[in-house]
Amino acid sequence: MQQIKGKLLADKERIVKQLEEMTQEKTFNKDKVQTKWQDVGDKDEDNAIEVADFQDSISLERGLEENLERIEKALAQIEEGTYGICEACGKAIEADRLIALPQATQCMSCSARK
């Protein structure tokens, strides 16, 4: 369990650093995220690049935030003693799955049914 918790904490730190680099704030606060706008230039082509880059950044940011939420949920479940239980069927999630994907919320069988 310590190995999994360590991996979750390391992943959390990495994601927070990525989000800090992407946002306008000096420190990441998931309630006040504002993606940086990159100023490429004043031409129409430059504006199109800026918009496309901004949209890509927002999409990446959302994915990182969702992953961060899953990590925080897993860490809370470890503290509560409810970690590793499939949300769909209530059975234990396979140890190999948790080692590979510590924020997993479903066992392999239930995940495959999606």
Domain ranges of the chain: 2-83, 84-114
DSSP-derived secondary structure letter, 38? P
Of 106 and 41, more confident: 106
Q: Check residue 50 and give its pLDDT.
A: 60
Residue 29: band (very low, low, confident or very high) from pLDDT cuts 50, 70, 90? low
Residue 114: band (very low, low, confident or very high) from pLDDT cuts 50, 70, 90? confident
Bridge partner residues of 86 (DSSP): none
Q: Are 88 and 112 in contact (CB under 8 A)?
A: no
DSSP-derived secondary structure letter, 85? B
Residues 59-64, mean pLDDT to the nearest whole number: 86
Residue 37: band (very low, low, confident or very high) from pLDDT cuts 50, 70, 90? very low
Residues 30-59, mean pLDDT to the nearest whole number: 59
Give the integer Cα–Cα distance in Å for 74 and 6.
Answer: 12
